[in-house]
Amino acid sequence: MKFALAGNPNCGKTTLFNALTGSTAHVGNWPGVTVDKREGSYRKKGVKIDVVDLPGIYSLSPYTPEEVVSRNFIIDEKPDVIVNVVDATNLERNLYLTTQIMELDRPMIIALNMCDVLAKAKRKVDVKKLADVFGVPVVEISALRGKGLDEMMRVAAKAADGVREGRSVVADAPAIAELVKEAKQRYADAGADNIVFRSIKAVEGDEQEKAKNPRIFELVGMQRNDEVDYEAIVADARYKFITEHCSGIVSGKPQGVKLSKSDKIDKVLTHRIWGIPIFLVIMFAVFHLTFSEDFLYLGAMGAIPSTKTPSVWNDIFGNGAINAPGTILFNLMDIATSSLGELIAGAMPEGVWYSSLVNDGIVSGVFSVLSFIPQILVLFLFLSILEDSGYMARVAFIMDRAFRKFGLSGKSFLPLLMCFGCAVPGIMATKTLEDPKERRMTIMLAPFFSCGAKLPIWAAFGAILFGGQHSDLIVYGMYVLGIVIAIVSAILLKMFVFKGEASPFIMELPEYHRPQFRNTMVHLWQKLKHYLFRAATIIAGSTVVIWFLTNISFSFQFVEDQGDSILGQIAQVFSWLFVPLGFGMGEDGWKFVVAAFSGLIAKEMVVSTLGTFAGMQEDALEVDSDQLLSTALGTLVSGMAGGAPAAFAFMAFNLLSVPCMAAVGAAYGEMRSGKQIWAAIGYWMLVAYVVSALVYWIGTYWWISLILVALIAAAIGIKIYVDKTKKRIAPKNLTHSGD
Ligand code: GDP
Ligand code: MG
């Protein structure tokens, strides 16, 4: 037996699905989290029932991918019962979808969710009346508290045994009654299924119905008056029915009258002016907690004396200052991995080639990635908490106002936000954007957002360049740089490529609530799993390949000087390309070029590649155990020929270039066009190259920034001038020829 959960976004379908099936699907706070359906099974006393979590929808019209997925599933896969999940705290709006689902020839029940919230407000739904109005069973549940679920499944199973014919509450609306009757007749003659549903859709002029039954659609269409907006009439009739029959169905005072706690919080957090600054401060606090080596600024105030004598205590908790929790965990992990590395190195025979492969290749490569896990976990923990509490949905709302100026809507903020975790799901989430222009543009911007895999690069370079004093600022700065470049990019793309207005953005803000421990942990685990998996496969594999390429010459001989190796030779040929970016300069320049190129495969590779190179520079065993990574890597980075500007240029290049092959694959999946994907790849590389060069040159000669400002001002001036002249020349009654 198969039950399908259908309902509005945020009505609690996924929570219900998880409660029924014991799975750990992502419970999201915004539309688009569940674009695809998800299946699991409910087991009780030997009965097994398949449960399908459909994406959240407001109607069964095929305007969004969610609506298409849900509608097709219900009609084509014929679930035994449709469980219409309804948010009882928002009853009338949720019932709009109910009036549509009930038109299908499928058994259905209404699961009245969030009853715990109603009960708290001392309100009650007249269940019997609701069941009478819609002619289907109604069960009160709380998905979150696990209340009423077994009863719900029992009622649903009973409903599955019967047959149900579709009923419409709008068929008798005067303006369409005749038309509906006619359509029903035609569908009946043709022996169609879901006659009531199809008739209403045909009257509405529904595109999908037109594709399905073109003949009937045309016949019905001939009776229609072109002047009349039938869709609007049908929608009105649905609302009218709901207001007439359901207004008194919930007892007690609706909460809307009084400001709820969430509304009060929102007055501050989504303030017109303060919203964005507050968001930036919150984000800074998160980065500070994760990366700072001067957590409470006690060091900056000189409150703690620093000592010269090294001690493990100081290495972990900080010297002359207190490390942030994230940094403390990082230090612990660093000590653990480097001790383990030392153990492995000690156990390997000396002077044989495979010892070098294991120690300098695999161990230093993989361990340098592993040692960043604590900080990644801490950062993601905070982000998950912000997401689960409902705050991130607010940020999308705040951002919508700003995004509009750049031709995007708050809708694209959500996928872009995901890119901070990983660009792959972020790019996939652009599925929810209806406007193809907006979707393409969002994909183009996606890699600029610093993902989890780039984090180790910032953390390592920050620690090396500033001795850890301001690592949090560096990391925060890279994230901000990515955002700034994305904004500038958006402006340019809108100006020259994707012209036009952004689609409207409507989103329901969920109530704030305390994040659920289990949920947060599940999020964390999923992210960690992803990272570990990549460390174990792609990264370990690639470090081996890179080790060989950097230790073997074209004539298959082991080399003394890595410059003679295959990769060294190739990189030296191309490193002149990166001289203008600073990091291609000097004797070690090619190493950074190779690292940057490995980053195009996966960004985790950058640090591990440099780690591999650094490992070969010194005898790892002679270095202090807890500094295996930082010292060797530190020597390499602080010895860059271009100095600190080159290091920053290197970071900028990694921030903005092609994020990884997986992301390219995902982008191709969404764009489905070879031309577009090549354009995107070219664009990312171009932006990375230009910005990286700018970073280097401005870092080296500050006055270049003045020229730059002048050039930008001139460009804007020219653009405004050209637009003005165009307007003057353009004839008045020009018809649109489409673009
Ligand atoms: P979906 O979009 O329909 O899949 O909704 P979700 O399952 O993602 O739930 C949206 C939000 O409502 C989440 O924050 C849930 O924790 C919350 N929620 C779901 N069911 C209940 C419930 O019965 N009671 C309460 N208080 N909250 C719930
Ligand atoms: Mg969901």
Residue with CA closest to ligand 1 atom 10: 10
Q: What phi, psi does 40 have (nearest 5°)?
A: -155, 180
pLDDT at 188: 93
The predicted-structure confidence for 165-199, as pLDDT tens digits, reads as follows: 999 999 888 889 999 999 999 999 999 999 999 99
480/225 Cα distance (integer angstroms) = 55
Beta 47-53 vs 38-44: how paired, if at all?
antiparallel
- Alpha carbon 666 to chain centroid, angstroms: 13
CATH topology classification for 2-160: Rossmann fold (3.40.50)
What secondary structure letter does DSSP report for 361?
Answer: I
Atom in ligand 1 nearest the alpha carbon of residue 388: 14
pLDDT at 506: 58
Query: 651: closest CA among 437, 504, 515, 475?
Result: 475
Low-confidence spans in the chain with pLDDT less than 50: 28-34, 256-257, 617-629, 732-739
pLDDT at 611: 79
pLDDT at 29: 43
Mutate to test the pocket of ligand 1, among 5, 10, 11, 15 (most ligand atoms within 8 A of CB): 15
Domain boundaries, the chain: 2-160, 177-251, 328-701, 705-739
Mutate to test the pocket of ligand 1, among 13, 18, 27, 147 (most ligand atoms within 8 A of CB): 27
| 190 to 103, 184, 217, 554, 718: CA distances (angstroms) | 18, 10, 12, 73, 63
CATH topology classification for 177-251: Helix Hairpins (1.10.287)
pLDDT at 626: 40
Q: What is the DSSP string of 517-571?
A: HHHHHHHHHHHHHHHHHHIIIIIHHHHHHHHHHHHB-TTS-B-SSGGGSHHHHHH
- Residue 243 near residue 232, CB atoms below 8 Å: no
Residue with CA closest to ligand 1 atom 18: 12
pTM above 0.85, yes or no: no
Atom in ligand 1 nearest the alpha carbon of residue 85: 3
